[in-house]
Amino acid sequence: MNRTVEMIIDGKPIELPTVVGSEGEVGVDISSLRNKTGCITLDPGYGNTGACESAITFIDGETGILRYRGYDIAELAEKSTFIETAYLLIYGNLPTRPQLVEFSDVLTENQMLHEGMRFHFENFPPSAHPMAILSAMINAASSYHPNLITKREECFPFHAARLISQVRTIAAFSYRKAQGLPTIYPKSSLKYTANFLHMMFSPHPGEDCELKPEIVKALDLIFLLHADHEQNCSTSTVRMVASSRANLFASASAGVCALWGPLHGGANQAVLEMLEEIHQDGDDGTKFLNQVKNKSTHRRLMGFGHRVYKNFDPRAVILKQQCDKVLSQLHKSDPLLDIAKKLEDVALHDDYFISRKLYPNVDFYSGIIMRAIGIPLDMFTVMFAIGRMPGWIANYKEVMADSDSRIARPRQIYTGATQRAYTPLEARS
């Protein structure tokens, strides 16, 4: 039987039920608290608030565990692919061979954008950040599919596949547009990640780029490692928007906006900018770390720290190894990797970082790999968005399938002025 928790408010005890997850996590169910006592709970940043029950991803931040649908991230990284993992996240199990073939076929069938969408790209200024284009175009795509709303459930598999497939096409088109390069259409014979690289880097329609298997593999791994991460800022945003019964594309577009910020997915771009700055400065990282530790500078070691991981981020461990592997496969060296390793080494032995349990997160090493494989800096967060799409879709599906789901509507503690009389303009000083 689940435990109950007793709370005493104004001397009166109230009993609250608990919910225990499959990995033993305990949540105190406070949903009756306001009705019973008039009080609400206050948790800015939601560090102690479980907003939902979810069966998709499990994280134990104390021991550095990340599992998608029960599978350890390191095992998936070694044995799976992004598309197989996307299926796993959305449908709950690894696909059988026929299921995988069918899923891949639907992705391929839906890879083309509606031709009308191409004209939208023309109206963005060349300086537009690709994340702005991505969120706008995903939302715009919803207007081409009215059955996103009218046939929400029966068409879900097609809309999910369309979104996973088209986010990649939109991303590549926005890059080509920003570079003033001709658009390269997707090629049905190519698999997901290879097809994306083809659309990004083929010199002209009709002249294909060389697709090095090690580059395709490295980017596929980056997508896979980003595919879900339970109730992070962007996924919570997707769930929040979905809770109003907004359509899948609108919810995912909101997720892109939330992801863009430098404290979330935008950190991968910010890490590279930081490493570049340290390099340009001729610093080995020591001066920069001193600035970070001096709170008056308001600087952060980007790519370090995490709300949930307080030991290590398993994705960062995999990506660090992958950095060395990719650079050696491509016979490249990168002074920024040396700086990153030095920063990590110093930070992990420095009391400022140790006492706050700050470790490298997924964004610390991913940018060095993306740079090595030729992804431009302002596309880094777009890569995160492509990778995270299956996780957003899985979470959207979970919200829609939950018959008890209510619109997400937090409360607040009001701290503004109490009631006052309106002052006419002439009487205001």
Catalytic residues: 306, 363
Among 82, 249, 304, 380, interactor with ligand CMC by CB under 6 A: 304
Find the part of the chain contacting ligand CMC (CB under 6 A) among 133-141, 183-191, 298-306, 334-342. Answer: 298-306
| 23-50 residues labelled b (16+ CB within 10 A) or e (exposed) | eeeeebebeebeeeeeeeeeeeeeeeeb
Separation between Cα atoms, residue 123 and residue 168, nearest integer Å: 20
Among 120, 212, 307, 341, interactor with ligand CMC by CB under 6 A: 307
Instruction: Give the nearer residue to ligand CMC in terms of CB position, either 249 or 309.
Output: 309
As measured in angstroms, the least distance from the Cβ of 313 to ligand CMC is 7
Q: Determine the 3-state secondary structure of 323 from DSSP.
A: helix
Rounded to 5°, the CA angle 386-266-169 comes to 25
Taking CB under 6 A as the criterion, which residues in 227-246 touch ligand CMC? 232
As measured in angstroms, the least distance from the Cβ of 293 to ligand CMC is 8
Strand 57-60 and strand 26-28: the pairing is unpaired
Among 263, 294, 321, 335, interactor with ligand CMC by CB under 6 A: 263
- Whose CA is closest to 271, among 360, 383, 382? 360
Among 77, 246, 252, 292, interactor with ligand CMC by CB under 6 A: 292
Among 285, 305, 367, 390, interactor with ligand CMC by CB under 6 A: 305
Instruction: Give the nearer residue to ligand CMC in terms of CB position, either 187 or 342.
Output: 342
Instruction: Give the nearer residue to ligand CMC in terms of CB position, either 212 or 307.
Output: 307
| 29 in Cβ contact with 19 (< 8 Å) | yes
Total site size for ligand CMC, rule CB under 6 A: 20
As measured in angstroms, the least distance from the Cβ of 177 to ligand CMC is 26
Instruction: Give the nearer residue to ligand CMC in terms of CB position, either 184 or 275.
Output: 275
Residue 354 found at the interface with ligand CMC (CB under 6 A): no
Taking CB under 6 A as the criterion, which residues in 107-146 touch ligand CMC? none
Residue 19 pairs in a beta bridge with 27
Q: Determine the 3-state secondary structure of 13 from DSSP.
A: strand
Residue 265 found at the interface with ligand CMC (CB under 6 A): yes
Report the residue count for the chain: 429
Residue 310 found at the interface with ligand CMC (CB under 6 A): no
As measured in angstroms, the least distance from the Cβ of 388 to ligand CMC is 9
Taking CB under 6 A as the criterion, which residues in 9-48 touch ligand CMC? 45
For the chain, count helices (H), then strands (E): 19, 6
Instruction: Give the nearer residue to ligand CMC in terms of CB position, either 186 or 314.
Output: 314
Q: Where are the alpha helices (DSSP H) in 332-379?
A: 335-348, 351-355, 362-372
Angle between helices 362-372 and 335-348 (to 10 degrees): 170
DSSP for 32-94, written as a single string: THHHHHS-----GGGTT------SSEEEETTTTEEEETTEEHHHHHHH--HHHHHHHHHHSSP
Which strand ranges, in their side-by-side order, compose the sheet holding 4-9? 4-9, 12-20, 26-28
As measured in angstroms, the least distance from the Cβ of 81 to ligand CMC is 22
The residue at minimum Cβ distance from ligand CMC is: 305
Tell me which residues touch ligand CMC (CB under 6 A).
45, 232, 263-265, 267, 292, 300-307, 356, 358, 361-363
